[in-house]
Amino acid sequence: QKFINKLLRSKQWVIRKRDNPRTVFVYNIPDSMHWKRLWALFRFHGNVLDDFIPVKRSMEGKMFVFVRFAKLVDA
């Protein structure tokens, strides 16, 4: 949860509308972060439908992830 709160404070997230579910884009993820840990962290904040960690990195070489929540209030 500390990781999520730090991301929210640093404004390293973007919410995109896609039908009813909401997708959150989070970047600057630590390289050591496993998808199961991400799932657990985000599930604490709402109903997570999916999380996706692309193999590609950002232009700065940072890892990023897409997390899809069931509702806007969860995102």
Instruction: Encode pLDDT of 60-73 as tens digits.
Output: 888 888 888 888 77
Contacts 24+ apart (CB under 8 A), 31-37: 31/63, 33/63
Look up residue 51 and give its amino acid: D
Q: What is the pTM of this model?
A: 0.64
CA 3 – CA 64 distance, rounded (Å): 14
**Looking at residues 17-28, what average pLDDT do you find?**
74
Q: Which CATH class is domain 2-69?
A: alpha beta
Per the structure block, which two tokens stand in for 65?
């992830």
